[in-house]
Amino acid sequence: MSDQQVELSPSRSEEAHSAQTVPSANMIYCHGCGKQIHKTARSCPHCGAASSVKTGDKSKLVAALLAFFLGGLGFHRFYLGNILLGIIYLLFCWTFIPMLIAFGECIYFLAMGQESFDRKYNFS
């Protein structure tokens, strides 16, 4: 009996350890409970919430290019679905301030990870 217990406990702790150190490259955060789940998972194993309700297929690069070339007119905001912001950019385009903001956003889009971009603009 005591031998079995000794054998069981190391394998258990090893299992728990490997579960904690799963590489996070393919992991996303659950919208329901905030725990890390694999990005291909249809639903969260922790809380059952649908993990990836993809609402769009917007490209980071297209957003960055639109921000760079037509950002002063808010095109990237229209593209990303922020219609109201796009209109504000358009209204103030003559001040050239939206152009400066859009240039910063272009760099921001390029610098941000695909995953965080998706979470922000492609998932509900």
* Binding residues for Zn ion (CB under 5 A): 30, 32-33, 44, 46-47, 49
- State residue 37 phi and psi, 5-degree precision: -135, 160
Q: Which is nearer to Zn ion, 51 or 122 (CB)?
A: 51
CB 43 to Zn ion: min, Å: 8
Helix (H) or strand (E) holding 111: helix 97-111
CB 115 to Zn ion: min, Å: 17
Q: Which is nearer to Zn ion, 47 or 70 (CB)?
A: 47
Q: Which is nearer to Zn ion, 47 or 93 (CB)?
A: 47
CA angle 53, 64, 68 (to 5 degrees): 150
Q: Which is nearer to Zn ion, 27 or 90 (CB)?
A: 27
Contact 42, 108 (CB under 8 A): no
CB 118 to Zn ion: min, Å: 17
CB 120 to Zn ion: min, Å: 19
- Token pair of 85 as six digits: 């912001």
Beta strand residue intervals within the chain, DSSP E: 27-29, 36-38
